[in-house]
Amino acid sequence: MFRLSTAADCRQIYELVCQLENTVLPYEAFNSVYSEQLQDRRYFSYIYEENCHILGFLNLRIERQLHHAAPVAEIMEFIVAPGCRSQGLGRKLLEQAAQTAQKLNCCSLEVASSRQRTAAHRFYARNGLAPTHFKLTKSLPSDKQS
C-alpha cells in the first residue's frame, strides 16, 4: 500500500535511510529532522508498506527557485529495500512524486545521486530523468565540539 508517512514510521524510515547512506545516523537527530519535515508543507514523504513493513521510501521537497521563477520538486531520499528491487515499486514511488510535482505546478523533478550509485542512475534514466546538472559539495565542520 502506498501512503504518506507518519510519525509512527520514523524508526523504519531511519533504518532504510541508514542503508541508503551506508552509515548509522544518530537516531535522535534524525527523528528531530523527520518530525520537522512532517510539519512542513513543502515535504511529501511517501512509503510503500506490506504487512506493517516499509519496503520503499521517497522523500520529496517542493521549493520555489529564483533561477526557474517557479517551484521545483527535488527527491531528497529514495530507497527500495534490497529484496524488493526490480519489481516496479521504485517506478511507482517515482510516478507518485511526479504526480505530486505536476499538481503543484513544478517545472521539473530533480534528484541528486552519488556517483557510485550506477544502478540508480540507470533506473533514473529509464524513468525519464536526464543528467543535466553537476553537483559540487563541501563538508563543513560540525559546531558540536563538546
CA nearest neighbour of 90 among 121, 134, 51: 121
Q: What is the pLDDT of residue 146?
A: 45
Contact 120, 113 (CB under 8 A): yes
- Supply 7's cell numbers: 510519525
| pLDDT, averaged in runs of 10, over the chain (146 residues) | 96 96 96 98 97 96 96 96 91 96 97 92 94 90 68
- Which pTM value belongs to this model? 0.91
Residue 101 covered by a domain: yes
Residue 137 covered by a domain: no
Residue 31: which domain range?
A: 2-126
Residue 131 covered by a domain: no
Residue 55 covered by a domain: yes
CA nearest neighbour of 27 among 10, 47, 45, 9: 10
Residue 142 covered by a domain: no
Domain count, the chain: 1
Tell me the pairing of strands 53-65 and 109-111: unpaired
Contact 56, 89 (CB under 8 A): yes
Residue 132 covered by a domain: no
Say which amino acid occupies 1: M
Residue 87's domain is classified under what CATH number?
Answer: 3.40.630.30
Q: What is the pLDDT of residue 144?
A: 63
Residue 16 covered by a domain: yes
Residue 40 covered by a domain: yes
Q: What is the pLDDT of residue 136?
A: 87
Q: What is the DSSP letter of 7?
A: G
Q: What is the pLDDT of residue 143?
A: 74
